[in-house]
Amino acid sequence: MNTRLRDDAVTAQQPGCAPEELSTLFPTVLMRRRMPDAKSKNRRLRKIILEREKNDPGVRQSNVGGWHSTADLWDWPNPEMRDLCAWVKQAAQDLTASMFPLKPGDEVLAEPYGGAWANVLRDGGYNKVHNHPGAVWSAVYYVASGTPHAEPPGNGNFEFMDPRPGNIHGGKEIVTPEPGLLMLFPSWLYHYVNPYHGDGERISIAWNLNVEIVR
């Protein structure tokens, strides 16, 4: 079979058959962005989070083991955390603007929806399969990745599930955490974190956001 790419479609010519046009419909977007000067910023963020962990018993959500803060991180008073939240809001606005046709004068506004929180995983901790219904975008930022052991395979990886019904394609997107990495994705997309086995803490921060295009 000979194939030829044409814009966002594939035209396939088979012997004895009329041309068939195949299109990719409804892609699922995943944005990756990296924090400038992440090392020095993460050093301070790590200290803030671990100090709060000492005085906050946390909550149980998707986490099994580890620590999950209350969902009020948008309101934490630390300047470093406020700067990070503003950076994440800007990323959500940039992602939205890249996906929708905007007219001159249009403004994209991202606002908190359903809270934000810090996660600390230590040896054996993980997050069950879940999503974040009601929001538009969800975001995850890695403050620290810890020192994972070489085994088992997939140790501590973040995984997105194929959203197509029946999952006949068997696909998934696997992300290896790294300090300074931000991911933004649709809040309805199911995801989970494999058990982390290693030394030190794996620290991440999560947000849910809604967006509005103001004309």
Cα dihedral value 181, 114, 197, 40, nearest 10? 40
Assess if residue 133 is contained within a domain.
yes
**pLDDT tens digits along 5-33:** 344 444 444 555 556 787 878 889 999 99
Is there a domain that residue 21 lies in? no
Residue 162 located in a structural domain: yes
- Please check whether residue 6 lies inside any domain of the structure: no
Query: What is the span of the domain harbouring residue 117?
Result: 28-214
Q: How many domains does the chain have?
A: 1
More confident site: 127 or 5: 127
CA atoms of 72 and 116, how far apart (whole Å): 6
Share of the chain above pLDDT 90, in %: 76
CATH number at residue 188: 2.60.120.620
- Determine the angle formed by the axes of helices 38-55 and 79-99, rounding to 10 degrees: 120
Flag whether 179 is in a domain: yes
Please report whether residue 17 resides in a domain.
no
- Residue 10 belongs to some domain of the structure: no
Q: CA angle 212-214-215, nearest 5°?
A: 145
| Whole-model pTM over 0.85 | yes
Q: Would residue 109 count as lying in a domain?
A: yes
Number of Cβ atoms within 10 Å of the Cβ of 55: 6
Instruction: Give per-residue pLDDT as tens, 35-94.
Output: 999 999 999 999 999 999 999 999 999 999 999 999 999 999 999 999 999 999 999 999
